[in-house]
Structures are given as C-alpha cells and as structure tokens.
Amino acid sequence: MAKTKVLSKDNRNKIVDLHQAGKTESAIGKQLGLKKSTVGAIIRKWKTYKTTDNLPRSGAPCKISPRGVKMITRTVSKNSRTTRGDLVNDLQRAGSKVTKPTISNTLRHQGLNSCSARRAPLLKPVHVQARLKFAREHLDDPEEDWENVIWSDETKILLFGKNSTHRVWRTKNAELHLKNTIPTVKHGGGNIMLWGCFSAKRPGRLIRVKERMNGAMYREILSENLLPSARALKMKRGWVFQHDNDPKHTARATKEWLGKKHFKVLEWPSQSPDLNPIENLWRELKVCVAQQQPQNVTALEEICMEEWAKIPATVCENLVITYRKHLTSVIAKKGYITKY
C-alpha cells in the first residue's frame, strides 16, 4: 500500500481555525482542497488530544541497541564470512539475546545482504601486480589497436548443467512439476569443449575439441582456424593474437610455432579471465543453448554452432569499444577481479 501524503502543519492549523469559526467539515474540505474524511480526522484528533501534531506510534522496541548494531556491522565488514550464529553468540556475550532473523533484518537495514559467494580465480600478489601493470600500460592505447586484436579462448558447455539460471511462474507446492524444473543428470550428462575467437567486427571460427587437448592439438587448431578467421574477419596488417597463459599456450613449441608464423601475441597477465571480453560471448552462448534444452551431445554441438553464428556484430564491437573502460575498473579495483 502506498504511503498517504502527510498534511503540513499549516493546513492542520487552518482546519482547526475554520472549525472554530463555525464552518462544516464539507466546507473546510472544499476550501482547502481536502477530503471530508481527512478534515474530520484532524478535527477529532484536536478535540481528543488538543493538538494536531503526529502522535508517537506504538511498536516493538528494537532488540539490538545502537551499540550492538555497530558491533555486528563492524564484524561482518571485517570478515564477510561471519555467520548469523556467530553474531548471535557475540551479542549474547554482550548481554543481548536475539534470533538469527533479527540479525538478518538488522544487517539488511544497514545495506548488507546475505548473498552466495561468487567463484573467482585465486589471485596472489604477483598476479595482482601483473594485472595492474597490464591495465596501466594499455590504458591509453587507441581504440584502433583493440579493434585489431583477435581474442580467443576455450570453454566447456554441459549438456545438463548450470550453464544458466531460469525463473518460472508457478503456484505453491508446484516446484517439482515437470514444466517448472530443469532436467539434470549425474556428471552433467555429457559436455563438449569449444575453441573460439572473435574480433571487433564479428565472431570468428568456433570448433569443437573432440579429444583431450594438448600442445600439439592446440597448435593444429590454430593452424587450421586462426589464419582463416583472420582472413574472414578482414584483419589489418599487423593484427594481434590474444590467448591466456594456459600451459598449452605458453609451451616452448607453441611459442616457436607462433614465431615462425610471425603472429604478434598480446602479453597476457595470469589469472585474468575477466580481462578477456570473449568471456561475455561464452556466457551469452551458454544462456541461449540452455534455453533450447538440447537432449544429446550432437544437438548440443549443433545449437552451439547456430547460436555462435547468430551473435550480432554490434555485440562484438561494443565489447571492444568498452575495453578501455574495463581497464579503468581494474585500476580502480587495484588489480583485483572486476565485472566486465
């Protein structure tokens, strides 16, 4: 229910003055542009309490003192993994007996909500410094330089798994009806590994890796797909290739192969998937695939290829255009993981 508008003190006093002057509630309402019921309520309050001010309202007293609120807020700020049970025990030792829901409500009023912890790469100090160095060195690179980069990566897509989340409209106790569930099987029911690339112009090639990838297979993938992608994407002379620091990518044989092909490789900081804009394309691909609910690995592969080809060129362009903004975020976060 929406909150009612509170009358100003001047209007409330005018109502009382007009009432004492002998005017009816209807006449006062018309003169002041108020409902008759509103005028009547003000007059009754004045007659009963001799005031038109808002009276104190009843309600349960706060179970946690202001000092207790500061204490638990400071505790969770220092250690975000503190449990409600820990906070209940802390307050009990301080002389306040409260329940876990009270803890939740109190922290929520302080702007702190209980959320699932996000999974992110483990960053050691050396990784943080490398990420900062990368962001600072490339922050002022012109947009044309990023448009001349081919971004690449591998990803795994599950047949039945948590590729995306779904929300459904349902009635009470209908959570297990077939139409309201997402089918799952043990171990995901199968999966496929994909290698793909893209540039600011549009997606490049996407292929399925059918065997366990090693250095030799990775070089074969690049040999058969990287240069054709560069031609199809009409990359300018001196284009740059990006891949992460997976051991297969940084193996001596792979570096030598790239050198013989005269490919320029973007120096990449370890533990930095958030710096690769292709992660956004993987996320969108997985959402689209999950919505179609393929029933076998063959259908999964076909749908992946179809959805990859449908990715608009504008999406790829926007990811590259906003890359400098993302580097700024990395610097603002002092080298820690950021959201693209």
71 or 120, which is more confident? 71
Q: For the segment 180-219, what is each residue's pLDDT rounded down to a tens digit?
A: 666 555 555 689 999 999 999 999 999 999 988 999 999 9
First to last CA, the chain: 38
pLDDT for 182 equals 62
Is the pLDDT at 102 greater than 90, yes or no? Answer: yes
Range with the lowest mean pLDDT among 50-54, 99-103, 145-149? 50-54
Q: What is the pLDDT of residue 168?
A: 63
Q: What does the pLDDT read at residue 88?
A: 93
Q: Is the pLDDT reported for residue 177 higher than 80? A: no
pLDDT one-digit tens code per residue, 241-295: 999 999 999 999 999 999 999 999 999 999 999 999 999 999 999 999 988 888 8
DSSP 240-305: EEE----HHHHSHHHHHHHHHTT-EE----SS-GGG-THHHHHHHHHHHHHHH--SSHHHHHHHHH
Minimal CA–CA distance to 159: which of 310, 289, 287? 289
Q: Looking at 52-61, 228-237, 246-255, which range is the least confident one?
A: 52-61
Which strands, in side-by-side order, build the sheet including 191-198?
A: 203-209, 191-198, 149-158, 240-242, 264-265
Residue type, 283: R
Q: Which of 58-67, 120-129, 261-270 has the lowest mean pLDDT?
A: 58-67
CA 89 to chain centre: 33
Mean pLDDT of the chain: 89
pLDDT recorded at residue 186: 54
pLDDT digit string (tens) for 293-319? 888 999 999 999 999 999 999 999 999
Report the pLDDT value the prediction gives residue 167, as an integer from 0 to 100.
59
**Confidence class for position 1, pLDDT limits 50, 70, 90:** very low
Q: Give the C-alpha separation, 324 to 321, whole Å.
A: 7
